Amino acid sequence: MLRTLMILLSVGLIATMSPAGIVDGPHNMAAEGYDITNDEVCLPCHTPHGSSEDEYLWNQTIPADTAITVRDGAVLGHVSLMCMGCHDGVTAISASESGMTVAADAALGTDLSKDHPVGVDYGSSYRRAPAEPIRGGRMQGVKVVVGQNPDGTDITKDLPLYHRDDNGTGLEQVECATCHTPHTDAQDLLRVDNAGSTLCTGCHTAQ
Amino acid sequence: MKRITVISWLAAAATVLCAALGGCAHNVNTNTPAVADNPPVFFPPAPEEPHVQFLCNLSGSKNFEKPQGWLERFILGERPPSEKTIVKPFGVAVHDGKIYVADSGSACVAVLDMVSQSFETFGTTDPGRLKTPINLCFDGEGLLYVSDTGRNQVVVFDANRTYVTAYGRDENFRPADVLVLGNEVYVLNILEHNILVFDKNGRELKRTIGSRGREPGQFNYPSNFTADRDGNVYVSDSLNFRIQEIDSEGTPLVHFGKPGRTPGCFARPRGIAVDRDGIVYVVDSGLHVVHLFTHDGKPLMFIGGAGEKDGQLVLPAQVTVDYDNVDLFRDYFAPDFHAKYLVLVTNQIGKNKVSVFAFGARKTVASPTPQ
């Protein structure tokens, strides 16, 4: 009885603590025996610092407990790089085969009819909705109108753009996480449902 | 006296002509100039004792082009570019002077022939048409086994690159990796988190190793595996963030690793290789490095780091070690570094498709063995 109560309490805690939907969605990759209350469902993407008393035997200039950091020096933003680490056709469906063209991939080809580029500057141009501050001004993004409040004001969802200092242009870029989020069980893990092309026209405006 | 002068004049003319036509270069034209032009990149970096030297990056036919000599350009004009490149590499194996790369971007096996200095592809025609080739390995008879997650089969080619057969018509698996040990073919089934062992000749399923979970002997999305000379299998148990060594029956022997970014931890362990002294190489696609461990899991060092400069990696996938073809890259060895074997790493993104390193030691010091 007490055990059931504890489990129910834990489930209740999860519902309030963890990002909604990931536990029920396809990004819950925890195996049997995983302790969800310890946020272990977050581990595949959110690598912790890791507590370690080990030192590198062959590199004593790096003290124990020093973390390797990844800079954005590499071709594609670190957000998309992380997604593609599993979406390579092995652990999960390949990003390239599902219609995403990685800007850095050599095989862009000339037929982009089913592709959407990733790792490209959003830019400000004709037929593009403006990027504006989102998430309390921490980053830039595009606000997509998804409905109306009873008082007539817009309900919007944010599509974040990712800034990379070293990409030469210093502009905001479209990454996988601009349109997709793993913290959900929504169809195709989209931030905005694309019924009526709502997601597409959020950025690609008519004028 | 006159005869010698004529001969030496002819020799001089021939040399000039040869140089004008593009030189008699022995070096492979890799993305990196030969070591004489750049200071060598060592891991760990100075002041530590070097154990690995970065040699060069390879990407495709561009590596074998001889630079066009001025005379040829004058007579024939600028040679048009005809570059064929590896697109999205994963598995890599070295065999008989050639580097074989599973290229899921071009749905083929790409071959960098370091001896004849040519670039070829195969696996693009039926019935051996590949869809999403991921990993590959050779057996003792020179047959090539390619694990293809698009076909969900292991496709076998012979030494003439002719299709022989395919495993997996009846069983439902997603083959992330394949190994041939003796008369058995091991297939890493990432869909069911287990290993299927087939008889090499009859192709019947002999046993299944492992299941999903986090106990020793269980796996969670195991993405790659390799074997040592004793026939023990090392599994890159990716979403358990650990490496597991098991024997041929699946009995767990050793395991190490945990999630993190500090020594001894993994972000996303992927490809794996083992050298003859038990050093375990683990590709970490999250940290863009290849970790080196002792056989029982003590962290030794790492190579790589995110980027496209010499020695850096971008979304690395697989690693392999090779003792038999070290001499192919002798032009790149640092003068005071003794190369013991090659370490090749594939990068899924960017211009450096295959990064070639050498494991060894400084010449004044005996080859180190791990503590």
Residue A1: its pLDDT value, please?
Answer: 60
Report pLDDT for B247.
Answer: 96
Query: What is the ipTM metric for this complex?
Result: 0.79
Which residues are CB-neighbours of A200 under 8 A, at least 6 positions away?
Answer: A194
Confidence of residue A79 (pLDDT cuts 50, 70, 90): confident
**Cα–Cα distance for residue pair A43/A125, rounded to 1 Å:** 38
pLDDT at A206: 74
- Ranges of residues in chain B with a pLDDT under 50 are 21-27, 33, 35-36, 371
pLDDT number for residue A13: 41
Domain boundaries, chain A: 2-99+117-203
Q: In terms of CA atoms, which chain B residue is nearest residue A74?
A: B307
Neighbours of B44 (CB within 10 A): 20
Could you say which of B47, B88, B193 has the minimum Cβ distance to residue A105? B88
Cis ω for the linkage preceding B47 (within 30 of 0): yes
A107 interfaces chain B, CB cutoff of 8 Å: yes
The pLDDT value given to residue A169: 59
DSSP state of B68: P
| Displacement of CA B138 from its chain's centroid (Å) | 13
Check A89 against B289: CB less than 8 A apart. no
pLDDT band at A7 (very low <50, low <70, confident <90, very high): very low
**Mean pLDDT in residue range A123-147:** 84
Residue type, A127: R
Mean pLDDT across chain A: 75
Structure-block tokens of residue A25: 């969605």
Tell me whether residues B221 and A91 touch, CB distance under 8 A. Answer: yes
Whether B301 and A86 lie within 8 Å, measured CB to CB:
no
Cα separation, B132 vs B109, in Å, equals 10
pLDDT band for A100, please (50, 70, 90 cuts).
low
Provide the pLDDT for residue A11.
43
Higher pLDDT, A116 or B342: B342
Contact A106 B105 (CB under 8 A): yes
Identify any residues that bridge with A120 across adjacent strands, giving them in sequence order: A174
Q: What are phi and psi of B302, to 5 degrees?
A: -140, 160
